[in-house]
Chains A and B, each alone.
Chain A
């Protein structure tokens, strides 16, 4: 199964772009990269996911390297409400089921 490695914590100034890295060097060709975030006491919030092409939505952009061994989540203009734990997940396909395995994540602190 593909594991992910993320820095345990990061700081970002309010209004600046937050770039959150993730390594997934053992990812296989048909495994997707998902990003979620969890704000204290709330359920995980879906942000974005992709396979090999870069993706953008109203929340963030996802940049996946050509070899797919790493990716970066970009929050273009971080706000204080973006302070959360961000999880990079490579989905597992187990017993015909798409399963997400959450690691430790990156605790992003957005500062004024």
Chain B
């Protein structure tokens, strides 16, 4: 597609339920990034993928969070047993590669509300 595509754009879920967020990067982009932005806050880096591998998962907030990427394209971010503090916009971004100086393009985000 022309840009980074994320789905769902909005999700309201009950506390304790699992949610899955999807990111479809720009075609040909091997690097993919996940960020989180809570209301009125800055962007918090979560994880990145180069191809299908994620070298560093230390940015994930807790073990309830996991991410995977298969086929070097679409990625899913899964939050298990959601808590109210998980409510945020989850932003995905992609770039041609992880090399320095690449342009990183963001999607419009998935707005998650845990009630």
Chain B residues within 8 Å of A95, by CB: 55-56
Contact status of A93 and B48, CB under 8 A, knowing A43-B106, A45-B106, A98-B31: no
A: number of interface residues (CB 8 Å): 26
Contact indicator A94/B56 (Cβ below 8 Å)? yes
Dominant SS at the A interface?
Answer: loop
Q: Which of B93, B99, B101, B105 has the most CB of A within 10 A?
A: B101
Most buried by B among A46, A49, A98: A98
B106 contacts A44, C-beta separation under 8 Å: yes
Q: How far is the CB of B100 from chain A (nearest CB, A)?
A: 6
The 9 closest A-B pairs by CB, nearest first: A102-B43, A43-B106, A95-B56, A97-B98, A43-B108, A44-B106, A95-B55, A102-B42, A97-B48
